[in-house]
Amino acid sequence: MGIPACGDDNHTTPPDGTPPDSTPPPNGTPPVETRGKYSFPQGVASGDPRAASVVLWTRAVATDAANASDAVAVTVQVSTDQDFATVVVNKVVSATQDSDHTLRVLVTDLAAATTYYYRFTAGVDTIAGRTRTAPAATADVQVNLAWMSCQDYTAGHYGAYRQLIVDDDARAAADKIHAVVHLGDMIYETRNDAFQTPLDDSFEPLTLTNRDGTPRQFAPFPSGGGASTGGGTFARTVDDYRHLYKTFLADPDIRAARALWPFIAIWDDHEFTDDCWQSQANYTNATGLDEGDQTRRIAASQAWFEYIPAQLTGAVGVEGVDNEAHDFSPATVVDAAFTAPNADNFVPEPNNVAAVGAISIYRSLRFGKHVELVMTDLRSYRSDHAIPEDLTNNAVFFAPRAILPLPLVNTLDAGVTANNGNPPDFVSFLGGAVSFPNVRKASPPGTMLGKQQKAWWKATMKGSDATWKLWGNEVTLMRLKIQQLGQTDVSDRVLTGDSWDGYATERNELMTYLRTEAIKNVVILSGDIHAAFAGTIMDNFDLAPADQTAVACELVGPGVTSNSLFSFIEASTRGGDPNLRALITVNASAAGGVNFTENVNMLLLHGTTAAGTFAGAIAQGAPLATALQAALGASTAPNPHVKYVDTNAQGYGYVKVTADEVAASIVTINRPIATPTDAGPGIKRAASFTIPKDTPAGMTATVTGTKPFPMT
């Protein structure tokens, strides 16, 4: 068996698979090493399973503080037996201070579709895990994946991982999970931000208690961190980012999940900084350099590479398509102001180029005959948000990147290509009462993927002969439109400009490419938005409905812990216009419903008039059923492509792929704020979806458990 690895490969240990024995030796021989000299505080993990290889990972440290910086010799062993009766790999590697004592070992020459057991041993201290290789590219087999995202450490416990384990134990053998896809926000770069205060009836700050009785919190950053606008601090140095991974990944539930399944991970924004693009942050909601972005980008990339097992350099994707992923390589940068973007909407300032280019993580993985998993990076190469943040710092807007006027977003995103190449000098909305200069008039159209990654994406989608193309896409792709918000605003709004709704020009290009190239059976797995959605993706959402063509389906999973989309929007309306707040939440407890009824679900599914009708009926004392009937009768279906909405959720997604269909579930757990147990937090609801081959518009949905409003 091959085993390319970091560290020292020149020494081997006996190949029988047994770790060093701690039994006292005979008289006259040196004493054996005692247990507890070394520890593996973040457990073990595996990643990027392929038909003949997988990456194994751990972090090994000396428990004596006096030896904390010493290199640790670690034996890695791999076996097809849980008791390690037969060992197929046996090597010694070294965990050094340079990599924060993390180890990543690429094990090759493995058998396809095979469960392997592995362990790391330092001295007499051992930790073990399980992994599984992917099926061969021609294997006609069912493939089962889970997907996760968004796990703010102090917003809740990692009960979604425990529920994942509990649920999988109950599945039939053929349906058990083969790998877990993580779509980003593995960490959050901030500590003690005000947004971590949750929604509940008392509006009191959340206090979480770990299994061992300790409070769920994490220590200050080694550097002290930088001051964030949320009232907390943010990571600045590589040690700060390492501190986050060490804290988040020491949680027992995510440790258990990473020890059971290989993970395939991509980053979103919080692995670096909130709502980032290239090496730029947005903490102050202003243009220009906010803080040390390029040095922070390098630090964040290094820590991600150290703590996330992924095969980058040398990874093999679709035949004929070059692999552009590569391992992290240090680069020296200084924090410099951004220059104007080039014709590809990338900032050519040398420090930005070096910071972004230090690592490349987009890649594809094959799972048998039916699944090509395409993992993209939607942060490193994207252009600035369509509407500059300094334009939104006024009373016309709710937030810099949320609830934005659709005409303004689309025009500025299109840049020089707007209006068929004749972009206007000004863009107006609010019935013409408000007009903004078109600051993107001479700019290239916006991009989420960047020129090189976009070409790779197209080649991968077209070149793969897998039945299904699953796209691991961090941010929501589907249009989420709010109709005629307010009394005088006749412009539709998009829920968020940080998602693909803020980059519609490129979305139209990609979806039109799927249609014109007859690339079928594309299913998008998304996260980021802290809510659950499912729906059909059209080639161009701005065309009249009769002129749109369904080209794909999207499944958006909720966050593991992070405060829900509903809770953020609800909090933003407290103390404000009561008519606006009523479109977001209604106290329907007296009518037979619940306090904090998620009327925003109604708003997205059935429109402003329906949400207003429901709120008005409840205010007049109508029973819940009567109010619902009146609201649904006023439906205007602003997003007819959306099949399912649950804006107040935490949980995970599960997808089962065969030759004929994709069957998926989005599992919403009970909010994971109680002290964790092995039983998991329990399931609040499960939404099941079936996507038939060659028929994206044929997606069907059913819900078991407590249905989300207004599905009552």
Q: Which helix (H) or strand (E) holds 413?
A: helix 406-414
- pLDDT at position 488, please? 54
Which SS3 state, helix, strand or coil, does residue 280 take? strand
Q: Is 205 exposed, middle or buried (0-12, 13-18, 19+ CB in 10 A)?
A: exposed
The whole-angstrom distance between residue 647's C-alpha and the CA centroid of its chain comes to 16
Place of tokens 């407890």: 589
Q: Which helix (H) or strand (E) holds 88?
A: strand 87-95
Q: What is the pLDDT of residues 118-153, one digit of tens each?
A: 999 999 999 999 999 999 999 999 999 999 999 999
Q: What is the DSSP string of 295-308?
A: HHHHHHHHHHHHHS
Tell whether the model's pLDDT for residue 283 goes beyond 80. no
Q: Out of 50-54, 425-429, 481-485, 574-578, give the one with best mean pLDDT.
A: 50-54
Q: What is the pLDDT of residues 157-175, one digit of tens each?
A: 999 999 999 999 999 999 9
Q: Does residue 342 contact residue 348 with C-beta atoms inside 8 Å?
A: yes
Q: What is the pLDDT of residues 481-527, one digit of tens each?
A: 998 765 555 678 999 999 999 999 999 999 999 999 999 999 999 99
Place of tokens 């493995």: 110
Q: How far is CA 607 from CA 124, 484, 485, 599, in A?
A: 63, 9, 9, 10
The whole-angstrom separation of Cα 618 and Cα 704 is 26
Tell whether the model's pLDDT for residue 51 goes beyond 60. yes
Tell whether the model's pLDDT for residue 339 goes beyond 50. yes
Query: Mean per-residue pLDDT for 228-243?
Result: 90
Which SS3 state, helix, strand or coil, does residue 409 take? helix
Sheet of strand 661-669, all strands in order from the earlier edge strand to the far edge: 102-107, 54-59, 44-47, 262-265, 179-182, 143-148, 651-657, 661-669, 683-692, 700-705
Mapping DSSP onto H, E and C, the string for 613-662 reads: HHHHHHHCCCCHHHHHHHHHHCCCCCCCCEEEEECCCEEEEEEEECCCEE
The whole-angstrom separation of Cα 587 and Cα 592 is 10
Categorize the per-residue pLDDT at 285 as very low, low, confident or very high, splitting at 50, 70 and 90. low
The whole-angstrom separation of Cα 631 and Cα 246 is 49
- pLDDT at position 630, please? 98
The whole-angstrom separation of Cα 594 and Cα 606 is 20
CATH class in words for 138-389+441-556 = alpha beta
Between 230 and 300, the higher pLDDT residue: 300
Domain ranges of the chain: 1-133, 138-389+441-556
CATH of domain 1-133: 2.60.40.380
- Alpha-carbon Rg for the chain, nearest whole angstrom, is 26
Of all residues in the chain, the percent with pLDDT exceeding 70 is 91
Q: What is the mean pLDDT of the chain?
A: 91
- pLDDT at position 16, please? 33
Q: What is the pLDDT of residues 12-35, one digit of tens each?
A: 333 333 333 334 344 445 556 679
Of all residues in the chain, the percent with pLDDT exceeding 90 is 83
The whole-angstrom separation of Cα 463 and Cα 452 is 16
Categorize the per-residue pLDDT at 611 as very low, low, confident or very high, splitting at 50, 70 and 90. very high
This model's pTM is above 0.75: yes
Q: Does residue 630 contact residue 710 with C-beta atoms inside 8 Å?
A: no
